[in-house]
Amino acid sequence: MSKIGRTFPGISGPKRILVTGASGGLGSALARVHAAPGVSLCLWGRDRARLDAAADQCRALGSAVEVRSLDLADGEAALDALRAEDADMRFDMAYLVAGRGDTRAPGQRIESAGLALRLGQVNFSVPAAMASELVQHMAERGGGRVVLIGSAAGQHALPFAAAYAASKAGLARYAQALRIAAAPLGVSVTLAAPGFIDTPAGRAVPGPKPLLLGADEAARRIARAAMAGKGHFVTPWPFAALRVIDRMLPTGLRARLLRGLAPPGG
**Pairwise CA distance, residues 187 & 146, whole Å:** 8
Q: Which domain holds residue 93?
A: 3-260
183 falls within a domain: yes
pLDDT given for residue 238 in this prediction: 54
Whether pLDDT at 42 is above 60: yes
216 falls within a domain: yes
Domains in the chain: how many in total? 1
* Mean pLDDT along residues 74-86: 95
* Mean pLDDT along residues 136-146: 97
266 falls within a domain: no
* Mean pLDDT along residues 86-108: 84
Model pTM score: 0.84
pLDDT given for residue 7 in this prediction: 56
**Pairwise CA distance, residues 3 & 72, whole Å:** 29
- Give me the CATH number covering residue 67: 3.40.50.720
265 falls within a domain: no
Strands 232-235, 197-198: pairing is: unpaired
pLDDT given for residue 214 in this prediction: 86
* Burial of 35 from C-beta contacts in 10 A (0-12 / 13-18 / 19+): buried
Of residues 81, 83, 29, the one with CA closest to residue 54: 29
pLDDT given for residue 145 in this prediction: 98
CA dihedral 203, 205, 211, 214 (to 10 degrees): -30
* Mean pLDDT along residues 150-176: 81
Q: Are 64 and 15 in contact (CB under 8 A)?
A: no
Q: Are 41 and 66 in contact (CB under 8 A)?
A: yes
